[in-house]
Amino acid sequence: MMMKEGSLLRIIIAVTLTLLLSLLTIHPPNFCIAHSHSEVHCIESERHALLNFRQHLLDPSNRLASWASDVDCCHWVGVVCHNRTGHILQLHLRTFYPLYDELTTDDTQYEAQLQTYGKTVFGGEINHSLLDLKHLIYLDLSYNDFDGTHIPKFLGSMGSLRYLNLSNAGFGGLIPHQLGNLSNLHYLNLGRNYLYVKNLQWLSGLPLLQHLDLSSANLSKASDWLQETNKLPSLLELRFSCCVLSGFIPPPIPSCINFSSLTTLDLSINYFQNTSILFWVFDLHNLVSLDLSYNLFQGPIPMHLQNLTSLRHLDLSVNAFNSSIPNWLYSFSHLEFLNLDSNYLQGTISSSIGNISSAISIDLSFNELEGKAPRSLGNLCSLREIRLSYNKWSLEISEIFESLSGCVSNSLKILDLSNAQLSGQLTDELGQFKNLVILSLRYNSISGQIPLFIGNLSSLRSLGLESNQINGTLPQSFGQLSKLESLNIVSNMLEGAVLEVHFANLMRLKTLVASQNRLTLEVSDNWTPPFQLNHLDLGSWNLGPKFPLWLCSQKQLLTLDISNTRILDAVPPSFWNLTSQLTYLNISHNQIYGEIPYIPMILSYSSIIDMSSNHFKGLLPCISSNVTFLDLSNNILSGSISHFLCYKKNEPKKMEFLNLGKNLLSGKLSNCWMMWQSLYALNLGKNNFTGSIPKSIGSLVRLSYLHLDNNRFSRKLPSSLINCKELVTIDIAKNDFVGSIPSWIGHRLSSLVILNLHSNNFQGYIPEELCYLTSLQILDLSHNKLFGSIPGCVHNFSAMATSKNSAYPFLLYQSFREYGSQHFESQLVVIKGKDLEYSTTLQLVKIIDLSNNNLSGEIPEEVTYLKGLQSLNLSFNILTGRIPEKIGDLGSVESIDFSSNQLSGQIPQSMSSLTFLSQLNLSNNNLIGKIPSSTQLQSLNESNFFGNKLCGPPLTDNCTIKDAQPNTENKERKVFSGLEVDWFYVFMALGFVVGFWVVLGPLLLNRQWRVLYFQFLDHQGYKLRGVVIQTWQFYHGQGRQRVQLERTISNQRKLEKEGLDEVRFMVDVNLVGISNMLKEAFPTMKYWRDCGSCPPKLVSVYLWALWFDRGVAIGGLFPSTFKSLIFPPNIDTPGLVERLIANPWNWSYILVLLVRVPNVVLRHDKSSLKSKNCAEPRQLHSSTSTHTKSSSWHDHNACKEVSEEVWHLTQRGSGNIL
């Protein structure tokens, strides 16, 4: 935050100066002191001590060159002597560390200062010769690098020390308790090292201590930290930041807090959760600075903080406070720095905020504040910085400007309104902030044009307008911002020409980030910019067709992005000379041609290079081992890559991402991968590589993404890939790999998300070990020679069993984001019959493709557990059996292809519930029946169902008959008399008629043949009845009715053998009932034939007659029944033949029985008729009983409604039977 570091620095300096002036009676801390008494010289023993001390120090920049034997040690750099005694009092060996101030620091200068700092730090060890400096009271070794060495214990013997500063010096290990012997110590700073303690009891030996800083030391074992620090009565400043303090204070809790003089308290970054631990803080009435940031405090801001009315610095940022801003906070009139950012504060800003009249910096960013900004903000005349970003203001930008239109407009230097849900246009009110240094309006919905008066903000150093909807042209008044250092206008709708005049006075410009606009740079070929940029991003501008030569003048460039800028030219040689200093280079998506020069030391720092999607040709260049990201994909590079891989063979490479895909590279891969162990992603796909994969590729133990697809690699996969346990993607599709799929893929590569082996020559079974890949989302084994069944353990693919997103974001290179772009994993998959390439949404794709193999067996039911699956392709195999009944459980599936298999049965009804299904191919199988009804299925092309025995939409075949019984062959259909006629039944009826007259016609014409024929039937019937009765008794027991029936039949046979014709005549008479039944049913049947709408009622009559004939046949009465129906006895009852001869229209009744009834049966119960499970009365009653209940059907549908008229007919017809 801006003023946070500055304010802390001021406080530290103030306290330090106070201590030095009040406690030390020595000269000010200058590196070299001018002595007024020239006769005073340093003590010889102390000079030798310092020389010995220097011998053990590392001084890379020779800062202590003045420490020579021929120079008085009181004149040495960093040495301060007493002006009368000559004793050494102070050692100032601190290395200057540049502090960053957002308002005043130049970025380039700051980076240069950091580099200088790294080259000048002291190192080595602290020699015990310092013990000879008996009068030393001040020792500062801060901001050096002693590389984890322990703090010397002998420092505890330097009893004169009053000031000891070892902060930020790289010390490590246990803080020596001997420091507790420094009873005169006033200032102790051991912060920002790698230290730890077992307890803090040694602090009790420092009664005069006023400043204690143990920041970043591990105090987790010092549970008594509060009790021990409470024993320091003179303490003014306590800094325990990032000390892993315990979240509670164990007893004994001090009954009296002895921090009455404490003015500064820093407990930040300790992850406290409960504000109750702060009970002792609320009584520190003299507290001036309180820092509780980066903890886990929740709930409202503690109201007891209102007791701390002396506060000038309050930092509660990065917690979880979720209340509104309390009103008592606005009464802190002395408060200068208020930081509440990164909480969950709600509500509005009260107008009482104007009471914080001393406010210099207010940070309310990253909360959930809303409403209007109060106008009282304009009265904070001392306010220099206000940050309201990342809130829910939902205001017009002009309303914010109006609220700040008071005296604050003159003092304000930093205004941050980023991502504040602001809209509207930049109005004239912006021009009132004459002293504004930093203006950030990024990530809003600000529209309109950039106003011309923007050039009047003469103090502006940083302007951020990124990701808005600003349109129009870039005003030329930008050229008046002579102090402008950073301009960010990325992702807007700016268009038009940018001329040299836009940059005329921008001599201090260091950062120009303006990509994702429609701007065109129109400058002369020999233009030399007035600035020296560090960061330049003009992606998507129109810079071409010539390569911009003015770039060669930018000698300080660190990052450069001119991607997609329509350059159609070769790179000038002078440009390649700049690359040695770049850390980021992106010239991708142009049409740049030529060869990449052989520059061994290209990019000397850890760097990112993206030159993809151009027309570069020739051999790969040798790249510095410091390059971490290299993308040369989609060019026309050719030749071998052996020289590239094996360049400086024994020098480890830092490369993490290497993409050489989509080129013309060829040859075999060299066995030089041992030095590439940092590789995280490797893409060599879509080239012409041959041979086998070298075993050394197993050295890439950090490899996560491997793409070798579309080459001509052969042989087996090397088993050394077992070592690449972090693999997330294996894509080796479209090669010539052979052998079986290795089972170790499932055992060892458990992190796999994508496994693409399609279009190779793999054979054998699909190993069940693949089921261990619980994170797998894309499995493509298509176009191989695999056989056997699909493993039933596929339900173990738990990532496919849920519709949740993958845990893998597929972001290949995290640091790539630092430069304004991202690089994602990509994968080409076949979905819905199309080749689709997924990249940014790849983590959402979940497919299985096993097509074009020789897989057999049934589709495992377990595949229906994969509820997150989006595409399932099993086509072109020899799978048999039925489609799983629970296929409808695949609720997320969009594409299913089961075509060209041998699947049978019906399409499961559950498939109609697949609401996301947009592609279904079931063609060329043995499926039968009706296609289930759903919006998705009926909207599909009919070709997706061809080659089956299916009917119903979207096919043109109607399913009226097929609803009842699936046909086994294709048939022609025709509509006759309003009924759908199946030709099978038509020919069956004709066959019956022909057979009837051929067999029974002679019997009708010749009475003697008729008598002989009936006698023959009677004789055979008697034999059959005996067998039937014995079988019936054997299997069905001795029921009462069966015994009676047997006795009746036995008596009948006996009487008939004795020639009693009366009995035969009586049987014939009784059987006349059947003829009467059918005779009286004819009118009703005729009505059904004519109306064509009451078929279910006919079924009961037809099937009842079927059952009745079967029952009569058991009793041996079938011959008599047959004779009675065809040729009844000589009574006044015409037989069936006579009725047909007398009235030919009665043939239509027969057609009703032969044609209409089977259709009805098929529609209402296909399985009943096939299994002979016809409607059957539950019991055959005597002549006085009738059926009172409907027959028991298989599905209780067809005979649900039976008319009383039909049952009446049947009762009358059966009344005299038996």
- Give the pLDDT confidence of 829-887 residue by residue, as tens digits: 877 777 777 777 777 889 999 999 999 999 999 999 999 999 999 999 999 999 999 99
- Please give the residue that has the higher pLDDT: either 1157 or 147: 147
| pLDDT tops 60 at residue 14 | no
Give the pLDDT score at 900: 96
Confidence class of residue 1137 from pLDDT cuts 50, 70 and 90?
A: low
**165 occurs within a structural domain:** no
Residues β-bridged to residue 681: 657, 705
Last residue of a domain, one of 893, 928, 959: 959
Give the pLDDT score at 580: 77
Cβ pair 757, 741 in contact under 8 A: yes
Helix pair 1204-1214, 1095-1114: axis angle to 10 deg: 20
Domain with 930, as residue range(s), is 736-959
CA distance 925 to 904: 7
On whether both 898 and 1003 belong to a single domain, the answer is: no
| pLDDT tops 70 at residue 1082 | no
Region 1186-1201: mean pLDDT is 38
On whether both 910 and 1015 belong to a single domain, the answer is: no
On whether both 952 and 985 belong to a single domain, the answer is: no
Region 1042-1067: mean pLDDT is 48
Give the pLDDT score at 1067: 43
**920 occurs within a structural domain:** yes
Confidence class of residue 808 from pLDDT cuts 50, 70 and 90?
A: low
Last residue of a domain, one of 398, 429, 445: 445
Least confident piece of the model among 244-248, 296-300, 550-554, 781-785: 244-248
CA distance 307 to 1130: 126
**1025 occurs within a structural domain:** yes
On whether both 869 and 1002 belong to a single domain, the answer is: no
Tell me the pLDDT of the chain averaged across its residues: 81
Give the pLDDT score at 1092: 46
Could you read off the pLDDT of 642-694 as tens digits, one per residue? 989 988 878 888 899 999 999 999 999 999 999 999 999 999 999 999 999 99
Last residue of a domain, one of 389, 411, 445: 445
On whether both 1145 and 1006 belong to a single domain, the answer is: yes
On whether both 282 and 348 belong to a single domain, the answer is: yes
Confidence class of residue 428 from pLDDT cuts 50, 70 and 90?
A: confident
Residues β-bridged to residue 854: 787
| pLDDT tops 80 at residue 1115 | no
Q: Which residues contact 266 (CB under 8 A, 6 or more apart)?
A: 215, 238, 239, 240, 241, 289, 291
CA distance 1004 to 1137: 9
| pLDDT tops 80 at residue 1075 | no
Give the pLDDT score at 79: 95
Q: In the chain, pLDDT over 70 holds for what percent of residues?
A: 73
Region 1160-1172: mean pLDDT is 42
Region 21-32: mean pLDDT is 39
Cβ pair 355, 383 in contact under 8 A: no
Helices and strands counted in the chain (H then E): 21, 61
Sign of the torsion formed by the C-alpha atoms of 376, 379, 381 and 384: positive
Least confident piece of the model among 228-232, 692-696, 1094-1098, 1155-1159: 1094-1098
Tell me which DSSP letter residue 502 carries. G
Could you read off the pLDDT of 256-276 as tens digits, one per residue? 677 889 999 999 999 898 888
Give the pLDDT score at 578: 81
**Distances from the Cα of 265 to the Cα of 186, 214, 262, 271, angstroms:** 17, 12, 7, 16
Burial 657-696 (b: 16+ CB within 10 A, else e): bbbbbbbebeeebbebbebbebbbbbbbbbbebeeebbeb
Give the pLDDT score at 30: 38
Alpha-carbon torsion angle 1105, 1108, 1113, 1117, nearest 10: -90
In this structure, which amino acid lies at residue 1023? K
Give the pLDDT score at 823: 65
On whether both 947 and 1053 belong to a single domain, the answer is: no
Looking at the structure of the chain, the number of domains it has is: 3
Give the pLDDT score at 838: 77
Confidence class of residue 253 from pLDDT cuts 50, 70 and 90?
A: low
| pLDDT tops 90 at residue 598 | no
- Please give the residue that has the higher pLDDT: either 110 or 52: 52
**879 occurs within a structural domain:** yes
In this structure, which amino acid lies at residue 330? Y
CA distance 121 to 347: 49
**161 occurs within a structural domain:** no
- Please give the residue that has the higher pLDDT: either 1082 or 948: 948
Cβ pair 1107, 1163 in contact under 8 A: no
- Please give the residue that has the higher pLDDT: either 133 or 1180: 133
**1138 occurs within a structural domain:** yes
Least confident piece of the model among 69-73, 156-160, 167-171: 69-73
Give the pLDDT score at 223: 86
Tell me how far the alpha carbon of residue 156 is from its chain's centroid. 56
| pLDDT tops 50 at residue 315 | yes
On whether both 1078 and 950 belong to a single domain, the answer is: no
On whether both 287 and 362 belong to a single domain, the answer is: yes
**279 occurs within a structural domain:** yes
On whether both 950 and 1004 belong to a single domain, the answer is: no
Give the pLDDT score at 989: 75
Region 917-925: mean pLDDT is 92
On whether both 889 and 1028 belong to a single domain, the answer is: no
The CATH number of whichever domain residue 302 belongs to comes to: 3.80.10.10
Confidence class of residue 1096 from pLDDT cuts 50, 70 and 90?
A: very low
| pLDDT tops 80 at residue 561 | yes
On whether both 1049 and 1104 belong to a single domain, the answer is: yes
| pLDDT tops 50 at residue 728 | yes
Cβ pair 1045, 1025 in contact under 8 A: no
Give the pLDDT score at 941: 87
CB atoms within 10 A of CB 83: 15
Region 466-492: mean pLDDT is 95
Task: Round the CA-based radius of gyration of the chain to a whole number and report it.
Answer: 48
| pLDDT tops 80 at residue 350 | yes
Give the pLDDT score at 1143: 60
Confidence class of residue 776 from pLDDT cuts 50, 70 and 90?
A: very high
**763 occurs within a structural domain:** yes
Region 915-932: mean pLDDT is 92
Region 606-613: mean pLDDT is 88
| pLDDT tops 50 at residue 1183 | no
| pLDDT tops 60 at residue 1117 | no
Least confident piece of the model among 547-561, 814-828, 1027-1041: 1027-1041
CA distance 212 to 230: 12
CA distance 819 to 725: 30
Region 719-728: mean pLDDT is 94
Could you read off the pLDDT of 368-415 as tens digits, one per residue? 999 999 999 999 999 999 999 999 999 999 999 999 998 999 999 999
Confidence class of residue 978 from pLDDT cuts 50, 70 and 90?
A: very low
Cβ pair 270, 242 in contact under 8 A: yes
CA distance 91 to 94: 9
Its pTM surpasses 0.85: no
CA distance 609 to 579: 10
Give the pLDDT score at 1037: 47
